[in-house]
Structure 1
Amino acid sequence: MKKYITLLVVLFSMVSIAQPSKEKIEKVKALKVAYITKELSLTTAEAEKFWPIYNTYDEKQFELRHNKMKTIMKKYKGDGLDKLSDKEASTILSDMESIDEELVALKKKFTREAKEIIGAKKVLQLKKAEEEFTRTLFKQYKGKDKK
C-alpha cells in the first residue's frame, strides 16, 4: 500500500510540475506502443485485438490515477493536510482505498482479457516491457532535468 501511495505522489508531482502538453503525451504513447509491439512480437491478428483493450485499460488506469487522485490530493495541498480533521482524513483515505480497489479490479480484468488474446507468456512480457519503458522514460526525464 505504501508503494502505491508513494508512486501516486511521485506521479502526481511529476504531472503537476511538468504539465506535459498533449503533443508530448501522444509522442510518449506512440513510443510506448512501438516499444511494446516490438518486445511482444505481436502478430497482426493479435495486435488488432490487443491494442483496443490495452488502450481502454490504459485510459481508465490514467483516469483513476491522475484525475481522481488529483482531486483527492487537492484537498490537502500545501498546508491543507494540517488543517484536516481526523474524520476528513479518514474519508480521504477511504477514497484512496476505493481507487486502489478499482485499479486492482481493472488490472485483473485487463489481464484476463489480454491472456485470452495474446497468452499468459506475452502478458508477462508486457508487464516487463511496460516496466522497462517506464524506467527508460524516467532516466531520460531525469537526465533532461539535470541539464
Structure 2
Amino acid sequence: MKIKNILTLLLFLTSISFFAQNGKIDEKREKIKAFKVSFLTTELELTSTEAEKFWPIYNAYDDKQFELRHLKMKTYLKKLNDDNFKNLSEKEAVTLLSQIESTDKELYQLREKFMSNIKKVLSAKKILLLKKSEDDFSRKLLQQYRDKANKD
C-alpha cells in the first residue's frame, strides 16, 4: 500500500475519533470534515512530515473559521430576517453592523495568522494548491448538494 493511501486512511480515522469526542459538532459536519481531510490529503500530496505539522494548524484554523462564520454570523443573520428587521431600531442596526464588521476583521486576522503559520510548513506552491483545493472542495460539495436536491 502506498504511503499516500496509508496517510489518507490514518488522517481519516484520526479525524473521526477527534470528532467523536466533540459532542457539539453534528453528524453532517463530521462527515463533511472527514471528506475534506481526505480530499485535501489527496490533492496536496503531503509528506508525512508536512502532514504532521500541517493538520494541527489547519484544523485549528478551520474550526475557528467555522465558529466565526457559522455560529456568530448565524446569530447576526437571525436578527436580519424580515420580521426582526422591520422592528430594528437605528441604534440596534448600528450595533449589529459593528458586530458584523468585528467578525469580518476577526476572520481576516485569523486568515493572516494561518498563512503566517502555514508558510513555516508548506512551500508557496503547496499553499496555492491548498487554496485551489479548498475552492475545488467547496464546488464539489455544492455540486453533491445540488445533485442530491435534484434527486429528492
Q: CA shift at 1:41, angstroms?
A: 0.8
Cα RMSD of the aligned pairs, angstroms, is 1.2
* Equivalent in the alignment of 1:126: 130
Q: Which has the larger radius of gyration?
A: 2
Match of 2:103 among 95, 99, 112: 99
* Equivalent in the alignment of 2:77: 73
SS of the equivalent of 1:116 reads: coil
Runs of at least 5 residues in structure 2 that lack an aligned partner in the other structure = 1-24
Q: CA shift at 1:39, angstroms?
A: 1.0
* Equivalent in the alignment of 2:46: 42
Runs of at least 5 residues in structure 1 that lack an aligned partner in the other structure = 1-20
Identity of counterpart residues, as a percentage? 56
User: Could you state the TM-score of these two structures normalised by the residue count of structure 2?
Assistant: 0.79
**How far apart, in 1, do the equivalents of 2:124 and 2:49 lie?**
17
**Across the two proteins, how many residue pairs are aligned to each other?**
127
Residue type of the alignment partner of 1:99: T
Q: What's the CA shift string for 1:46-98, capped at 9, x where partnerless?
A: 00000001000000000001111112222233411111111211111110000
Which region of structure 1 is more displaced relative to structure 2, 51-60 or 33-42? 33-42
Which region of structure 1 is more displaced relative to structure 2, 71-80 or 56-65? 71-80
